[in-house]
Amino acid sequence: MQSEWVYMNNQIDFYFDIISPFSFIAHKKIQKIKQNKKIVFNYKPIFLGGLHKLAEIDAPAFNKYKIKILQSDCELVAEKNNISFTWNSKFPINSLYLMRGYLYVDDNHKNDYLDAFFDAYWKDNLDLSDEIEVNKILKYLNIDSKKFFEGINNQIVKDNLKKLTSNAFEKELFGAPTFVANNKIFWGQDRLEYAIEELNLIK
């Protein structure tokens, strides 16, 4: 008889930003894991630009040497994990409105919203700083674009994203993707497996 995994604690917090290519890869890996293991991933949207500012970090996207390695690393990791990936020619863009949008849409739309915008940016090479492209995706998701743009400018939504980003900084997080399991921090998509191991799995 095949043994099953038993989870003493099955919660992992996943801090992400759509602008982060490794957040995209981590999301795709999580989708595969969720099909086979009873792990609850708590998606924690943050504004990466704001987190970098709080942590006084210069993002690799603005360093001409680091960004070359970042691109090649992303392409390599995606290939090794059989994830369809295209480096976005408009990287980086300001993700503030996209991340507010994730908070604005109702819970029934969050997964579809994230899949659609992640794929649009890191698979289809679309310019998500272009409102026309964003409107096309919103139409595909059956989300009213007028209400959407009004919603992401709502002060409650703004404050919520700011609070989530500040809370991440207070937990001493400084980048995305980051996983937190049993109050331990695991930074980077390649640490996902370590975060799972931290859950004290018993086979």
Supply the DSSP string of 7-64, one letter for each residue.
ES--EEEEEE-TT-HHHHHHHHHHHHHHTTS--EEEEEE--HHHHHHHHT---GGG-H
Helices (H) and strands (E) in the chain, counts: 9, 6
DSSP state of 143: -
In 10 A of CB 3, how many CB atoms?
A: 7
How many whole angstroms separate alpha carbon 97 and alpha carbon 145? 13
Task: Kindly indicate the confidence band of residue 6, based on its pLDDT and cuts at 50, 70 and 90.
Answer: very low
**Low-confidence winner among 56-60, 86-90, 91-95, 124-128 (lowest mean pLDDT):** 56-60
pLDDT of 167 reads 96
The pLDDT mean for the chain works out to: 92
Q: 109-138: per-residue pLDDT in tens?
A: 999 999 999 999 999 999 999 999 999 999
Tell me: pLDDT of 36 over 80: no
Q: 135-165: per-residue pLDDT in tens?
A: 999 999 999 999 999 999 999 999 999 999 9
Beta strand extents in the chain (DSSP E only): 6-7, 11-16, 40-45, 178-181, 184-187, 201-202
If you search the block for the tokens 């997080």, which residue do you land on?
173
**Low-confidence winner among 12-16, 118-122, 199-203 (lowest mean pLDDT):** 199-203
pLDDT of 201 reads 56
If you search the block for the tokens 């272009």, which residue do you land on?
130
If you search the block for the tokens 């980048």, which residue do you land on?
175
Tell me: pLDDT of 97 over 60: yes
Tell me: pLDDT of 100 over 70: yes
Domain boundaries, the chain: 6-202
Q: Which CATH architecture has domain 6-202?
A: 3-Layer(aba) Sandwich (3.40)
